[in-house]
Structure 1
Amino acid sequence: MKFQRYGAVAGVAVAAALALSACGSDNNSTTSTSTSSAGSTGSSASSCPSGTLNAAGSTAQTNAISQFTKDYQTKCTGVTVNYNSNGSGAGVTSFIQRQADFAGSDYALSSTQAAQVTSSGRCGTGSAVDIPAVGGAIAVIYNIPNVTTSLNLSAKNLAAIFDGTITTWNDAAITKDNPGVTLPSTKIQPFFRSDTSGTSYNFSNYLNNLGGFAAPNKQWPGKAGQGVAKSSGVAAKVKATAGGIGYAEYSYATQDSLTFANVSNAAGSFIKLTQTNASNFIAKAKVAQTGADTKLAFDYQYSAADAYPNVLATYEIACGTGNDSTALPLIKGFLGYVVSNTAQSELTNLGYVPLPASVQAADASAISSLS
């Protein structure tokens, strides 16, 4: 069955459905069971799987997955979760090549990738599914000597910076949007992701929709700057470079104490990056679900003054059917925890954005159906 809806309703009650994925029975449970999701049979809600789960992919969700892994392994002591933060593209490749039980990706599977899953028999005669799990904001980070204020950087000006048209920080187009701020003539040093990256895809999608940038791409489509592997690499380069600018998931900006910009929305207003503002924008995403496969499409024309439009969602990509029988309970258990209220409530403190309740409910249903 297919359905589409706008605006995930945050007030939808999902606690009962998500509780089925909790590993323990106490109120502070931070783990999930592999076999207690709705649709499972022959197991209790307090059971935990055992074994090793291998995953790879998105660097944007690294800090979240690290915390989730710690929590899950504390409760389910027989489980080991290994996550290789090698980037969205590499993670999907690892999944297709059976080197990972599931992949983290900041974009849903492309038609080409989906075809590779099918042709390789990765999921037997079945296909892979996309499960949005971690919401996030993309911070435009910069390092300008003696400037610590949050600049207003429009999508149009950012597109020009990453295309090499705007080359100094005191360019008239930037100073116009930042009255009262003294900007130096320092050369702008753009940094972008050199690896196949979902963060690149989502940032370029924002710039394409609102700034006239090149078509969104997992391989950065800009014309200027220096490529650096992983979000942590971009953050480190910006921090070490006078005049540097780049993009990284919000948690990297905060943990490295980097200054980040207010960016423009479709109405031309500048929106401050806060987790609440990012959450407000993500909540207006168009949600399309076909069976267990769930995709979010951001509405870049949504221009509320409290909605930060430069966002992403990390998907966990797994086989809908055809999972290895040994790995299946581990996949369902861990992913069930990731989308639970317990885990999602941790995201704010980790620098991420909890998903709207209706998306969590769709995720819980999808995970319980994996086979």
Structure 2
Amino acid sequence: MKTRRFGQLASLALVGSIALAGCGSDNNSGTGTTAGSGSSSSSTSSDCFDGTLNAEGSSAQKNAFEEAAASYSEACSGATVNYNPTGSGAGIKQFIAGQVDFAGSDSALKTEEKDGVVETDAAAQTCGSPAWNIPMVTGPIALAYNVPGVDSLTLTPDVAAQIFDGKITKWNDAKIAAINSGVSLPATDIKVFFRSDESGTTENFMKYLSGAAGDAWSYDPAKVWPASGEGKEKSAGVAEGVKSTEGGITYVEWSYAKDNDLGVAKVDNGGGAVELTGESVGKALEAAANDGEGNDLRLKLDYATKEAGAYPILLVTYEIVCSKYKDAATATKVKGFLTHFADPEVQKGLEEIGYAPLPSSIEEKVQTAIAAIS
């Protein structure tokens, strides 16, 4: 599948406009990916729909979503798919408000009250049925850096925590040098960039630090960054900040690190330094525990894993859907597109742009859940 070409098409078409389309709506206004002729995907006519599908949320999955939407449009004449990458928090709010057909979030719906809202309860009220978290995009979180002359870098959870908390401030600090024998580290100031908007990527990176770095990280995971550094909006913002700043480092989805030609650190949780690859991320994801019930496929990741060859810093973007939509036509659209998105061929193609395909064991459960949407 020519995923890069699809992504280029999609980046022109998916301008992020959102028509008002709730869980029970069938609004065909707005702009998005429109169908072309021919097909190079595995979608069949039974998976296609005519009309518009609207979604909003995680910027981490933006590039993956564009790839899938573009190939779906080539296969399905008459289908338009809109995605607005405003961030996970905004996507959930829009879904609960009934403004989009489904949301993308880098964290599953919360089951406990926060800011006066229990997200699972609020989403169920909007849907008129339980909402499901369906894992779709595996987004490795890269520790992306810009240190000229340093082509190989390894970080441990403890050292990464101290860097991102502003306690290690020079690249040639003895603690960094101790785990990078033979690497010539400059005395350049470390410049940390963090997401200034509410971000599932931020929350997942903090879950990693909380789970793996022990006392070196004292903050509770949240979508808002609590520590030092310079804030930039969205994934593109922090990646561009590092690219333009010698000594810069950030946590960002692998796809953005690749797009900006940034260095990506290996991570050593205690089982040896692990390079970020699709295979190493898939190995970590397969070890995740199922934390949901039935077709609600929320996952519990083991960020502190010491398994050899498993890259531990990752996030899973969930597509948050109604299990039973108030409008049957909306359910058909959601099922059609997500069936395509979860197809192994489509998933494999995403690796070219910095994502890890769903492992087959999880992909089978995802397909079952999508088929059960009504």
Q: Deviations over 1:179-207 (max 9, x none)?
A: 22222222111011111111111111111
Q: Give the alignment's TM-score, normalised by structure 2.
A: 0.84
Distance apart, 1:178 and its partner CA = 1.2
Preserved contact between residue 32 and residue 72 of structure 1 (Cα < 8 Å): no
* Greater fraction helix: 2
Q: Mark the CA change 1:182 to 1:29 in structure 2 (over 3 Å): closer, same or farther.
A: closer
Please show how residues 31-110 of structure 1 align to structure 2 within 5 Å: 31=43, 46=46, 48-110=48-110
Distance apart, 1:305 and its partner CA = 2.1
Q: Aligned letter for 2:225? A: W
- Rounded Cα–Cα distance in structure 2 between residues aligned with 1:32 and 1:61: 24
Q: Aligned letter for 1:321? A: K
Structure 2, unaligned runs of 5 or more: 1-37, 112-117
Preserved contact between residue 30 and residue 71 of structure 1 (Cα < 8 Å): no
- Rounded Cα–Cα distance in structure 2 between residues aligned with 1:89 and 1:281: 25
Give the RMSD, CA atoms, in angstroms: 1.7
Fraction of identical pairs, as percent: 44
Q: Aligned letter for 1:218? A: K
1:217 pairs with 2:222? yes
Question: Which portions of structure 1, spanning 4 or more consecutive aligned residues, are displaced by more than 6 angstroms?
Answer: none
Distance apart, 1:323 and its partner CA = 3.7
- Rounded Cα–Cα distance in structure 2 between residues aligned with 1:167 and 1:323: 54
Greater shift, 64-73 or 207-216, is seen at: 207-216
1:339 pairs with 2:342? yes
Q: Aligned letter for 2:131? A: A
- Rounded Cα–Cα distance in structure 1 between residues aligned with 2:370 and 2:145: 39
Preserved contact between residue 336 and residue 367 of structure 1 (Cα < 8 Å): yes
1:29 pairs with 2:34? no
Give the corresponding residue for 1:176. Answer: 178
Preserved contact between residue 151 and residue 262 of structure 1 (Cα < 8 Å): yes
1:277 pairs, out of 273, 276, 280, with 280
1:117 pairs with 2:123? yes
1:286 pairs, out of 269, 286, 289, with 289
2:198 pairs, out of 196, 199, 202, with 196
How many residues align structurally?
328
- Rounded Cα–Cα distance in structure 1 between residues aligned with 2:47 and 2:266: 46
Q: Aligned letter for 2:173? A: D
Q: Mark the CA change 1:47 to 1:247 in structure 2 (over 3 Å): closer, same or farther.
A: closer
1:358 pairs, out of 358, 361, 365, with 361
Q: Mark the CA change 1:328 to 1:227 in structure 2 (over 3 Å): closer, same or farther.
A: same
Q: Deviations over 1:225-280 (max 9, x none)?
A: 01111111110000001111101111111111110101121x25321112211111
Please show how residues 132-151 of structure 1 align to structure 2 within 5 Å: 132-144=135-147, 146-151=148-153
Preserved contact between residue 31 and residue 73 of structure 1 (Cα < 8 Å): no
1:329 pairs with 2:332? yes
- Rounded Cα–Cα distance in structure 1 between residues aligned with 2:105 and 2:140: 15
Distance apart, 1:339 and its partner CA = 1.0
Structure 1, unaligned runs of 5 or more: 1-25, 34-45
- Rounded Cα–Cα distance in structure 2 between residues aligned with 1:296 and 1:150: 32
Preserved contact between residue 271 and residue 308 of structure 2 (Cα < 8 Å): no
Give the corresponding residue for 2:231. Answer: 227
Q: Give the alignment's TM-score, normalised by structure 1.
A: 0.84
Q: Which has the higher contact order (CA 8 A, sep 6+)?
A: 1
